[in-house]
Structure 1
Amino acid sequence: MVAPSPYQIVKKLKVSRVLVFRTAQRYRRLGTSDDMQRRGRPVTVTTPEAVKAVREKIRRNPARSMRKMAKEYKMSQGSIRTIVKDKLKMIPYHGSHLTTLFIDEKIFTVEANKNGQNDRIIATDYQSACEKGKILNKTSHPASVMVFAGITADGKTPLIFVDPGVKGVALGQFSLRKPIMDLPARRRPRSSRQRDSRVVSRQFSEFISAVDWPASSPDLNPMDYAVWIYLTEKVSSKNYPSIKALKTALIKKWDEIDDDHLRAVIDAYPKRLKAAIKAKGGRFENYS
């Protein structure tokens, strides 16, 4: 029987030629395929026993600090890193939050958003009060514009002005596609929102349809209870001569919303969810 050539072994076992030649060389020298004795200092710290102990420690508590393990096993942090990364082939990952993109739309009008009962004007006399805006001019159908936008904990999309007649599904599928891609990669959401209720109802067995949705349900979208309220206070306190002037004011105030404000809004979001659950969907303290 003719022994297979190194080339045939490489082809049959699908391994590298270097591995085959080194194994054959080792066998000719030692009479065995076991590893040759390596040069340098013998391993005294990262022993199989130490590797096994560290593996078990990580299995019980994956969040265990390597610095604390090094102190516990009386070895250097470098040795612990060698065990974790080289021996166990593990990587210490930092904790991170899933990026969520909150989106919503709102209509703004060229007329000031004032309530005759709640808003007060301080003046010396009635005439002065009228001159300062006591008389509220309201029309049945003031000129308006719908805006659409989204926020994350550390970024926001551009403010999108929606053309009249655009439906919600088209809005979600097309209007935000480019703004989302414009966000830095670390800020992009894992998936985009699908507003088609049929798709949602198929994917989630506990989906609540519009018919079953309770009246006066609490706002749980930060866009509703924080962002739009902020823009309304900043923009809708006066009348505008045209839609163009209204859009200019909206863009200016939208651009002034910084990352610190967004971070505070998103950080308060879990508290608001817990409050809504505790109140069983009823009224609760404003956590915006």
Structure 2
Amino acid sequence: MDEAMLPLDFKNVKTDFVYVTEKNGEDGRVIPTAVKSPSFPAQRMFAAGYSYRGPTRFYAVPGKAKVNADLFIKKILKPMFDIDVPKLYGADAWKVILHMDSAPAHTAKRVVTWLKSRRTKSITKEEWLANSPDVSPMGFFANGYLKQRLAQRNYTTEKGMIRAAQEEYKKIPLEIFQKSLDSWPARVLAIHKAKAFQAPNY
């Protein structure tokens, strides 16, 4: 699983900027009216995961919320393991191994204790491999793919953007998820095919 940011610019188009110099005015050309300086759009965090059997639901993290251990458990881990994992794996849900990075909210003692209380298997911080796109499918595939698909959508509100993102994530074909996992290094893929579950990234 992994988390990432989606920009809330609500335009999905490139912005045209006009730069004016003194020479523009001196040579007789019309100087355009002043334009506002571009500003960085607000962002909204989301979380999602996928495995060889398919994706989880798409989770929009509450706006302006600080992602700490309590929020991570309540809004992401609990619904994933209460709903998504059983839906994907059925009776084999107990075999799933959670794969996430070492973000503070992921490695907090409260999170580790919660996972142990449910007997949920996970790749620990000590076992986490080098920080590389090759071992982070959400990072090198899903996040970028989703943003490309959203660029084709039209929405004008935050709710519209979230709804579009949920729809586009759900529409990603299973075979594409599987191909992204097949590109993993052999030792990582062996873990995943043995029921590992790639979770969200913040």
Shorter-chain TM range is: 0.5 to 0.7
| Pair 1:239–1:189, CA change in 2 (3 A) | farther
The Cα of 1:239 is off from its aligned counterpart by 7.1
The Cα of 1:139 is off from its aligned counterpart by 4.2
Paired position in structure 2 for 1:106: 4
| Pair 1:143–1:266, CA change in 2 (3 A) | same
AA aligned to 1:225 is: F
Paired position in structure 2 for 1:176: 77
Is 1:218 aligned to residue 140 of structure 2?
no
3-state SS in 2 of match to 1:176: helix
Paired position in structure 2 for 1:135: 16
Conserved? CA contact 2:5–2:44, under 8 Å: yes
3-state SS in 2 of match to 1:241: coil
1:242 to 143, 157, 160: 157
| RMSD across aligned positions (CA) | 4.0
3-state SS in 2 of match to 1:179: helix
3-state SS in 1 of match to 2:16: coil
- Scaled by the length of structure 2, what TM-score is found? 0.56
The Cα of 1:159 is off from its aligned counterpart by 0.3
| Pair 1:221–1:188, CA change in 2 (3 A) | farther
Count of residue pairs brought into register by the alignment: 147
Distance 1:181 1:205 in 2: 21
Paired position in structure 2 for 1:229: 144
Paired position in structure 1 for 2:59: 160
AA aligned to 1:104 is: D
Q: Structure 2: 5+ residue runs without aligned partners?
A: 18-35, 113-122, 190-202
AA aligned to 1:170 is: D
- Scaled by the length of structure 1, what TM-score is found? 0.41
Conserved? CA contact 1:145–1:161, under 8 Å: yes
| Pair 1:206–1:218, CA change in 2 (3 A) | closer
Q: Percent identity?
A: 19
Q: Structure 1: 5+ residue runs without aligned partners?
A: 1-102, 115-131, 209-213, 275-288
| Pair 1:156–1:238, CA change in 2 (3 A) | closer
Paired position in structure 2 for 1:82: none
Conserved? CA contact 1:157–1:179, under 8 Å: yes
Larger RCO (CA within 8 A; separation ≥ 6):
2
Conserved? CA contact 2:153–2:164, under 8 Å: no
